[in-house]
Structure 1
Amino acid sequence: MAIEHEDVRRAAHLARLGLDDADAAHYVDDLGRILEMVDQLQTVDTDQVTPMAHPLDATQRLRADEVTEPDQRDHFQRCAPLVENGLYLVPRVVE
């Protein structure tokens, strides 16, 4: 798929970007090279490749699930306009 000058101008307009003709010509070349690379990647046979969740075989270190702060709910709810049974009451927005 070839990118043309008018395609870049239209995309810039849709994205609400100010783009002059010199910049648009530069982006035509850049986007053309990107699309060529995508075309090359699509030719690679990946039928026997197992999808990976992450490119590195690493595990995430997780901290222990422990309470580290005191309960401050009452303190925070003092400034709320409406509270009932420990819950914040808000106006109904969906009927």
Structure 2
Amino acid sequence: MAQVEILRNEVPEAALAQRFEREIAEAAAGAGGSDERLVCAILDEGLHAEIEVELPGWKERIHVPYPAREGDVRRAMTRLLRDLGLMDDRATMRHAGLFRDF
């Protein structure tokens, strides 16, 4: 599981800010064997939020339009982690509820 540190959360609505943090952590939990440390800043840009994700020597930004629906942040983070090779397709499907280990 990737470790998550939220440096800053600028989302003005408290419940939405907490949901963003929770969904980032849920996506990181799906990054099974990865011990990477994700440092995140959640920036309020007016019409959308930007989630800045830092790994050692690398930085990426994800845009999430407002109003953000339940699961939007988790899906965006899951896609990013998969693209970075930190989450395999099987874990991605399980995290999305499409696959179960029997």
Q: TM-score, normalised by structure 2?
A: 0.21
**Rg comparison, structure with higher value:** 1
> Whose helix proportion is higher, 1 or 2?
1
Higher RCO (C-alpha 8 Å, min separation 6): 2
